[in-house]
Amino acid sequence: MTSQPRPALSGIIGHNLPRWLVLTLVTLALLLLVAHPLGWILWNSFHDDSTKELTLGNYQRMFTRPSLWIPIVNSLLLAFSVALFSTLIGVPLAWLVARTDMPGRGFIRAMTMTAFVTPSFIGALGWILLAAPRAGWLNVGWRNLTGAEGQLLDIYTMTGTIFVCAIYTVPYTFALVASAFDEMAVELEDAATTLGAGKWRTMLSITVPLASPAFLVGFILSFIQGMTLFGVPAFLLTPSGTRVVTTQLAEFYQLFPPEIFLAAAYCMPLLIVTAGLFWIRRRILGRRQFTTIGGKTRRTRRIALGARARWLGFAFAMIVPVTAVILPFAALLLVSLSKAWGMGPVSGNFTLDWYRWALLENGETQRAIVNSLLYAGIAASVCMLLGVVVAYISERRLFSGAAILGALATTPIIIPGIVLSVGFFSAYTRPPFGFYGSAVLVIAAFVATFLPIAYSQGTTTIKGISPDLERAARSVGAGEIRTFLSITAPLMRTGLVSGWLLVFIPIMRELSVAIFLVSPKTNVMTTLIYNYKDGGNYEAVAATSVVLLAGTLVIVLLARLLVGQGSRRTRKTPTTDSAA
């Protein structure tokens, strides 16, 4: 009789062992990817770079030295201005595309999304070629036309930086607000019209309040984007000596010896601001949530603008396509085909040599292309695997602390990329890891940065799958892992492909996360372009940028073909977490 409990106990252990093994591995991965780097940032911030002793001196220096607090003020000014202009442009643009009969709506939407997938620092390169004070083509053309000695535009200013950041941040607000307008039921608008309200009064009293949470979230996300961008300020403000928090962090690492501990303390304003704004965003969404219930499936009613207003609206809507896509893309393409860009697009100045150099002759570019595709592919795969497993554990509540794993998986959403890069540098470049400059370090940082997207996509997909099929499989003896692999995962196929692409594409254009972690052998396309720009060879920079842009756009087009009707059938209003 004493031997009977043993088989039962061993059976219980054998049945639960796969579950606890998976939970252990997932928890360890989240701790290493999220908690460990953040812990090192906090720990290092209280140490002195010279003596290595515990101190509050880094924080004292940060708020008492003008050279350290002025960049913080500049970052706040940049972020607020970017958020303001992005909202003032993005909200009317979304309304024109989603709710009016303005011509060219499909074209405007496609071009705005093209601006979204364009790395903003490459857009900044395009505007350097157009509006650099001396050699920019717009300024050269202005001087030739008017005979003026000065320049028409100077992109190397805070105003120029706000302009470039804003036009590449508008798509965030546009996507959120347009989605809110697209998914909005029209029953309340019908009721207002029936009671005698005109179309403009209906819009102001019904449509705008229903979409107002999207306006506020778009402003907050644009503020965070402006606060945490690195590439655009590095290209446009560094020549004039104006610094923001992100470029100041880069300077700490360029010193010899680098001031790593001061850099850790300097990350805290970024971390506090982004975390605070995400908290405010959640409060806004919690207090101002609108739900419309209707039993009819109807297309969104479009407002007739009138002949003149339709074309005025189209002219306004072309601001982003012209400034974020057409002009900078054209400048980059023409310069990449020029022997010397200062001569302008004139006869005898065209050549394909820079593309031959970039694709066939230059080993650095070839290696960077391979690294970008390889790292993005591996990181996106690992990210989706981890994100979906955590989402499954959290949604199905496989154990009492599942919500903690979900919270850890979403934590990187409040961590700016450059801050996470500092954390990974501090945590994994020293013994016992010693991963500095390795592919493992770069891939791990990409995984951590974009884990919230994978988790959010996994959560959305799993919520659409009834657990009844899983219960049926377990009732006939299938374990949890087998049930997940044979039942749940196949049903998630479309969502998994969409999520993988949502992670892969931003990794391909990410700069700030990789900037402190790569070595010459592990350079990716974005860091290579950043290094080439410092060398001043704009023809080579333009050719390499065009290769990256072309590759990114091809991947986006393939993504649309792969996902196709499946993604449109399962599309829902984007959650704020996934949009962030």
* Spatial distance between the Cα atoms of 231 and 438, rounded to a whole number of angstroms: 22
User: Residue 131 pLDDT > 60, yes or no?
Assistant: yes
Is the pLDDT at 8 greater than 50, yes or no? Answer: no
Q: What was the pLDDT predicted at 494?
A: 74
pLDDT band at 204 (very low <50, low <70, confident <90, very high): low
Please report which confidence band the pLDDT of residue 10 belongs to, taking 50, 70 and 90 as the band edges: very low
Q: Alpha-carbon distance 61 to 267, whole Å?
A: 14
Pick 44 or 478 by higher pLDDT: 44
As given in the structure block, the two tokens for residue 96 are 């024109």
Please, what sign has the CA dihedral across residues 414, 417, 419, 423? positive
Round to whole Å and give the CA distance between 575 and 499: 14
Domain range list for the chain: 367-537+546-580
Q: How confident is the model at residue 53 (pLDDT cuts 50, 70, 90)?
A: very high
pLDDT above 70: residue 480: no
pLDDT of residue 432: 86
Find the helix packing angle between 120-131 and 158-167, rounded to 10°.
130
Q: How far apart (Å, rounded) are the C-alpha atoms in residues 381 and 373? A: 12
461 Rama sector, left if φ>0, alpha if ψ -120 to 50, beta otherwise: alpha
Q: Give 428: exposed, middle or buried? Use CB within 10 Å, 0-12, 13-18, 19+.
A: buried
**In CATH, 367-537+546-580 is 1.10.3720.10:** yes
Which pLDDT value is given to residue 12?
43
Q: Residues 246, 421: contact at Cβ < 8 Å?
A: no
Burial class for 257, CB neighbours closer than 10 Å (0-12, 13-18, 19+): exposed
pLDDT digits (tens, 9 = 90+) for 81-111: 999 999 999 999 998 998 888 999 999 999 9
Confidence band for 578, pLDDT divided at 50, 70 and 90: very low
Query: Is residue 288 helix, strand or coil?
Result: coil
Q: State residue 275 phi and psi, 5-degree precision.
A: -65, -40
> Is there a contact between 465 and 392 (Cβ–Cβ < 8 Å)?
no
Question: How much is the pTM?
Answer: 0.83
| pLDDT at 55 > cutoff 60 | yes
Q: How far apart are CA 415 and CA 503, in angstroms?
A: 17
pLDDT over 90 (residue 462): no
Q: What is the pLDDT of residues 330-384, one digit of tens each?
A: 999 999 998 887 776 777 788 999 999 999 999 999 999 999 999 999 999 999 9
Helices (H), 255-297: 260-287
Cα 172 versus chain centre, distance? 9
Look at residue 320 and tell me whether its pLDDT is greater than 80.
yes
Are 21 and 7 spatial neighbours (Cβ–Cβ below 8 Å)? no
**Torsion-angle region of residue 300: left (phi > 0), alpha (psi -120 to 50) or beta?**
beta
- Mean pLDDT over the full length of the chain: 84
Query: For residue 190, what pLDDT is reported?
Result: 63
Task: Assign 233 a pLDDT band (cuts: 50, 70, 90).
Answer: very high
Neighbouring residues of 435: CB distance < 8 A, sequence distance ≥ 6: 428, 429, 441
HEC per residue, 99-145: HECCCCHHHHHHHHHHHHHCCHHHHHHHHHHHHCCCCCHHHHHHHHH
Look at residue 297 and tell me whether its pLDDT is greater than 50. no
Q: Buried b / exposed e across 300-329, counting CB within 10 Å, b at 16+?
A: eeebebeeeebeebbeebbebbebbbebbb
pLDDT score at 403:
82
Please, are residues 262 and 52 in contact by the beta-carbon 8 Å criterion? Answer: no
Q: How far apart are CA 327 and CA 516, in angstroms?
A: 31
| DSSP structure string for 395-464 | HHT-STTHHHHHHHHHGGGGS-HHHHHHHHHHHHSSTTT--TT-HHHHHHHHHHHHHHHHHHHHHHHHHT
Q: Encoding tokens for residue 425?
A: 């540098």
